[in-house]
Amino acid sequence: MLDAGELFSLGEIVHNDRELERLKKRGLHTLSYDRLATLRDKKVLIRAHGEPPETYRTAYAQQLTVIDCTCPVVLKLQQRIKACYAELKKQNGQLLIFGKRGHAEVNGLVGQLAGDALIIENEAQLDAIDFSRPVRLFSQTTKSPYEFRILSEAVKARMHPGVSFEAYNTICGQVAGRQPQLAAFAARHDVILFVSGRKSSNGKVLFAACQSANARSYMIEDAGEIQVGWFADCRSAGICGATSTPKWLMEEVAKAVSRIES
């Protein structure tokens, strides 16, 4: 275990306010990017989202101890994008990332390429692509596989004849695999409580899977948001959450629901 002293997380370690409050009491502080260059001789944690090379250079210049918790899936994607970019530049091609602009993971991916990538959030932004040049499409790991497939097909349909296009589904298997499981889970219950921080990207994707199977699905951040009216004519309630939702928080919600039923 780490020392009981201060530990700084560069950005929120999870998108869940309740868990952040709990961790802060144990010595974990969220550090803004602006403050990184002013911090010195401290321990800094790099989140699962990953970071661009510039972040590491700044941290080491400030004599910071870096605890790198980049997700192995994200780290592999960073390396893969960097290698693809090197080959693509020889063909005067374009590298696209299907993701949320400004998201920490996307910033880390684009940073591997010194910013030379197109971030595409939806089909409406495809006009930014030069379809007469080769294109390689990757995805932020927490996006919807269905949306990625639709976007990929739309790009392919607009490519000029004979110009190469390749799409790589780099969505995390844990996120993609949970969607059909959660949809089936949601269909088995009258009411679904999906526990997640509202800023969580994978939370939004997974909650959408619940909603698609059960209209009586509700996203909540904690037990305090539960409304008794949701459970009218309810014989069965299911509780699930985002990848970053701690087990203790879902158990807290389960206890609150049990009190309603009793």
CB 16 within 8 A of CB 249: yes
Between the CA of residue 195 and those of 68, 121, 141, 172, 239, what are the distances in Å?
27, 25, 20, 20, 7
What sign for the dihedral angle of Cα 55, 42, 76, 149? negative
CA distance 99 to 49: 13
Q: Which helix (H) or strand (E) holds 167?
A: strand 165-167
With b for 16 or more beta-carbon neighbours within 10 A and e for fewer, the 183-210 pattern comes to bebbeebebbbbbbbeebbbbbbbbbbb
CB 109 within 8 A of CB 77: yes
HSE toward the beta carbon, residue 251, CA cutoff 13 A? 3
Residue type for 168, please? Y
Provide the 3-class DSSP secondary structure of residue 122. Answer: coil
CA distance 185 to 239: 9
Q: Which of 12, 51, 105, 221 is catalytic?
A: 105
Report strand pairing: 94-98 vs 43-46.
unpaired
Active site residue 153: no
What sign for the dihedral angle of Cα 164, 99, 87, 91? positive
Residue bearing tokens 């006009």: 127
The residues carrying an active-site annotation are: 105
